[in-house]
Amino acid sequence: MQGLRAIAVGLVVVYHLWPERLTGGYVGVDVFFVISGFLITSHLIKKPPRTPKDLAQFYGRRIRRLLPAAFVVLAATAAAARLVAPPTLWEGIAKEVIASALYVQNWVLAGSSVDYLAVENEPTPTQHFWSLSVEEQFYFLWPVLILAVFWAAGRARLKPMALVRPAVAMVFAASLAFSVYATATEPGSAYFITPTRMWELAAGGMIATLTPLAATRLNPAANAILAWIGVAAIVIAGLTFTDATPFPGYAAALPVLGTALVILAASGHRLSPATMFAARPIQWLGGVSYSVYLWHWPLIVLLPYISGGNLGWLDKLVILAATLVLAALSKTFIEDRFSFTRAAQSLVPTYRFAAAGMAVLVAAGGLQLAEVGFRTQQAQQQLAAAENSNDPCLGAAAVANGAEECQPDPDVPLVPDPALAKEDRPAAYADQCWSNSPFTDRPVCEYGDGETQVALVGNSHAGHWLPALQVLAEKNDWTISTYLVSRCNPTDVPLQFDTQEKTDNCREYGDWVLDQTTGGQYDLVVTSERQSVPVQGESWKTTEEPAVEGYLSYLAEWDKAGTNVLVIKDPPYPGNEISSIPDCLAENDGDAAACSGTPSEWHWIDPLYTAARELGSRHIGTVNLDGYFCPKGSCEGAIGSVVTYSDGSHITATYAKTLAPYLEQPIRDALRG
């Protein structure tokens, strides 16, 4: 079994360090799931729990085996993150430390995976606890199932195995069916949640109920070949799968069944994988695989905050060496000591340790959240003071008034504070004015109560203009009605989402918006988009031209109806250059220039704006405010002491408000058609 563990952890670590070289290395987690399901089921079948005390003893063994090392890593990670990670990440890390300590991290990540804005967040150093959470939830539920099956067999006077196999098979089938469904409908959350993964653990459980092939009359050489086929299946998945592979679903069957085949073969033949697995380095790596898994990811996430950049080869080799050293120490002084010390066999100290460890970690996370809350309160007061100061050089006004009048002052604190800037979003988020995946909702929110009716249409890059429009609505007696959708672009071409349902729903949403806004109900439609996904069937390299065509026909419908439309060009944003402007500013406190770039570096396609310019209709106007983001050829993460972006592409609500004066005249012109 150590050989399979070595393969599993090797796949995961290499994938995390060199994802471009081992694109499917994440399947190592699936190998671990099958191994865990096999070992736990084997144990439970040999010593089935029959009373609550038996269950308590089983859980106690799991606590002593797994929690000590996990608690040490979580505590060390929380402390290290507080010292080296920027303040913008403290809240997210604290929440995930708590979730990891309570073994619900997979559900937290499942929730954030369907949150478009959260997807752009920096990874936290405890994210890898999602798989451990799945296993712990399995360890909690599985012995209860086995106990119930043995009890039912006793009541029916049947041999226990006559019911164990069907019960395990039912869990396998139900979970696999749900995994396929969930992966096809919401793959982001499907990757993390327990019901989509239970069949992988049940696959190992099913093997535990069968006779090993090595104990049958099967030819030993043939059995060895079967074992190699299983290893090959795992390796093929690791080499050929990518982040685009729908997973887990059907695809997970390759590494899962490959692992199951290796275990079922149980071949000790000299030509089998057992010869390779018997090598001392592989046996050692398998023995420390749990600690390797625990330590490698925090090192990968936190080291760049020390080294000051992306991980190079030397950094990765240091991480690899440090991981192996820490794993060896953890195995010797934590895992083995807690697992085999006689004093730890008593249930009371075991459960007391688990409760105390969780309480300490939850308290540490809570203290960190309290500190974040205090800093946020101070930042909000600072922001309110800045907005009420009538500073002629605040935000975009610094560009309008020129460098001579508005000299940058590095001693003036940024507003919002970078940590607060990450949450500085339009009111539409708090008001739940979004059609989120799978785009079946049709929310419409109104801001203002004036006679002039303005519709704001588009995805989140239309939504981030709402604060500026609210300022103008209050000043000019307008009403802003929002038709906002996350990621989807209202257009006439299908977009490439991760499921066909989302693609179809996005098209339907765009048709609905067009119908709602072309009947003369609105004096003006303001729209802006980010091309978040490519056109269906196209790559990013080929998507611009068909995307423009889709917008040309869509805009033409508004034009034919005589609807006045103003297209706001999507401003340059750092995107791949800088994943989060607030994080960058927090890391480079006092050096905002480190978070800047050129227009060519921050450029992204804007097919909606291109289509509007090509159409050349008097009803379809355009406005380009790029100069307020990239004055004098340099795109800035902070302008006029205001943080410009709340992440890697969305404008902060504060900076959007300062742009209102420069958006007013283009809107007035557009209202006149």
Return the HEC string of 421-482: HCCCCCHHHHCCCEECCCCCCCCCEEECCCCEEEEEEECHHHHCCHHHHHHHHHHHCEEEEE
pLDDT of residue 39: 97
pLDDT in tens, 550-602: 999 999 999 999 999 999 999 999 977 788 999 999 998 888 889 999 999 99
Q: Which residues lie across from 415 on neighbouring strands? A: 642
β-bridge pairing 565-568 and 524-528: parallel
**451 in Cβ contact with 518 (< 8 Å):** no
pLDDT of residue 216: 85
Residues of the chain whose pLDDT is less than 70?
A: 114-121, 340-345
- Euclidean distance between CA atoms 643 and 415, whole angstroms: 6
Distance of CA 606 to the CA centre of its chain: 25
- Euclidean distance between CA atoms 257 and 216, whole angstroms: 20
Going by the DSSP 8-state scheme, the letter that residue 651 receives in this structure is B
Give the closest residue to 124 by CA, choosing from 77, 68, 191: 77
Return the HEC string of 18-49: CCCCCCCHHHHHHHHHHHHHHHHHHHHHHCCC
Give the closest residue to 100 by CA, choosing from 324, 330, 357, 337: 357
pLDDT of residue 406: 87
- Euclidean distance between CA atoms 504 and 75, whole angstroms: 46
Residue 454: both structure tokens together: 């303005």
Residue 217: both structure tokens together: 């009359």
Helices (H), 241-279: 253-265, 273-277
**427 in Cβ contact with 466 (< 8 Å):** yes
- Euclidean distance between CA atoms 414 and 641, whole angstroms: 5
Residue 649: both structure tokens together: 């592409």
Give the closest residue to 107 by CA, choosing from 196, 8, 31: 196
**128 in Cβ contact with 109 (< 8 Å):** no
Cα diameter, the chain: 92
Helix (H) or strand (E) holding 452: strand 452-458
**303 in Cβ contact with 315 (< 8 Å):** yes
Grouping H, G, I as helix, E, B as strand and the rest as coil, residue 642 is strand
Grouping H, G, I as helix, E, B as strand and the rest as coil, residue 597 is strand
Residue 465 burial class via C-beta count within 10 angstroms: exposed 0-12, middle 13-18, buried 19 and up: buried
- Euclidean distance between CA atoms 107 and 127, whole angstroms: 11
pLDDT of residue 632: 87
**450 in Cβ contact with 522 (< 8 Å):** no
Give the closest residue to 462 by CA, choosing from 475, 445, 449, 438: 445
pLDDT of residue 114: 56
pLDDT of residue 10: 97
- Euclidean distance between CA atoms 658 and 661, whole angstroms: 7
Q: Helices then strands (H, E): number in the chain?
A: 29, 9
pLDDT of residue 446: 96
pLDDT of residue 344: 47
**468 in Cβ contact with 538 (< 8 Å):** no
Residue 537 burial class via C-beta count within 10 angstroms: exposed 0-12, middle 13-18, buried 19 and up: exposed
Region of 456 please: left (phi>0), alpha (psi -120 to 50) or beta. Answer: beta
Give the closest residue to 528 by CA, choosing from 399, 380, 358, 649: 649
**26 in Cβ contact with 127 (< 8 Å):** no
Residues in the chain: 673
Give the closest residue to 262 by CA, choosing from 295, 291, 292, 286: 286
pLDDT of residue 343: 45
- Euclidean distance between CA atoms 630 and 597, whole angstroms: 9
